[in-house]
Amino acid sequence: MKRRLVLTLLVAIAAGCAHRAPMPPNAEMSGFLDDYSLLRDGGPNELRLVYRDPQVDWSTYRKVLLEPVTLWRSGRKSLAAVPEEDLLRLVSDFQDAIRARLREGFEFVDRPRPGVMRIRLGITDAKASDRVLDVLTAPQGTGRPHPAGAGALHAETKRFLAGAVIEGEIRDAQTNTLLAEGIDWRPRDAPPFETWAEVDRALAFWADRVCTRLEARTGAR
């Protein structure tokens, strides 16, 4: 099954969508999100598929509880060809990029309270129908440099990045009310990533785009 790179700049959910969006062709969702039926087509320069609660008063949210980024796979052996250290670096770098950019406009907290958004992000290479799922959690860092540095990606890592899925959601941390969710995917003709430097620049770009829109929505800056 062809997988697609899906990057969840979830809070670009700045505009409501008028009609239901089709799921990506040949794609079966992972189950990371609770309700895919809420998703609609995004507008220009937005996520491909988005949902946001039109009743939310975003201005009340100035704090963030960011859950560790996770990678969902169909059992540990499903991505055996991809170096485990590369998968760990990917989720860790993605989490670092999001955290660094969010910190510019929001206060981080470690427990639910009024005015707190809980943000979940998952890189998913699994299907809801899978009998066995393995969840890899972003590490806090080993203190050791990655062997590839900023250089070339492993061939299997490059192949994985061309088809991995990332999904995400924002909830009220205190009530668990769904505020927004979304998924996105790169154009089929987008050039593949060749180096870790390219991946990290892309993650920083995505994080900046997400947080800029969230800041505009909440009035944080």
pLDDT tens digits, 121-138: 988 887 767 667 788 898
Banded model confidence at residue 210, pLDDT cuts 50, 70, 90: confident
pLDDT reported for residue 77: 81
Instruction: Report the first-to-last Cα separation within the chain, whole angstroms.
Output: 43
Cβ neighbours, 10 Å, residue 198: 15
pLDDT reported for residue 27: 57
**CA–CA gap between residue 186 and residue 207 (Å, rounded):** 15
**CA–CA gap between residue 130 and residue 61 (Å, rounded):** 36
Are residues 169 and 47 in contact, defined by beta-carbon separation less than 8 angstroms? no
Pair of tokens at residue 177 = 């009310």
How large is the average pLDDT for residues 191-199? 94
Question: DSSP letters along 69-112, please?
Answer: PEEEESSGGGGTTS-HHHHHHHHHHHHHHHHHHHTTTSEE-SS-
More confident residue, 77 or 180: 180
pLDDT reported for residue 189: 81
Q: pLDDT digit string (tens) for 20-76?
A: 444 553 356 788 899 999 999 887 767 778 899 999 999 999 999 999 999 988 877
The pLDDT mean for the chain works out to 82
pLDDT reported for residue 26: 38
More confident residue, 111 or 185: 111
**CA–CA gap between residue 55 and residue 52 (Å, rounded):** 9
Banded model confidence at residue 10, pLDDT cuts 50, 70, 90: very low
pLDDT reported for residue 29: 76
- Provide the CA 80 distance to its chain's centre, in angstroms: 22
More confident residue, 6 or 212: 212
Are residues 55 and 110 in contact, defined by beta-carbon separation less than 8 angstroms? no
Indicate whether 8 pLDDT > 50. Answer: no
Indicate whether 179 pLDDT > 80. Answer: yes
- Provide the CA 110 distance to its chain's centre, in angstroms: 20
Banded model confidence at residue 6, pLDDT cuts 50, 70, 90: very low
**Domain ranges in the chain?**
10-218
pLDDT reported for residue 2: 39
Are residues 183 and 6 in contact, defined by beta-carbon separation less than 8 angstroms? yes
Percent of the chain with pLDDT over 90: 48
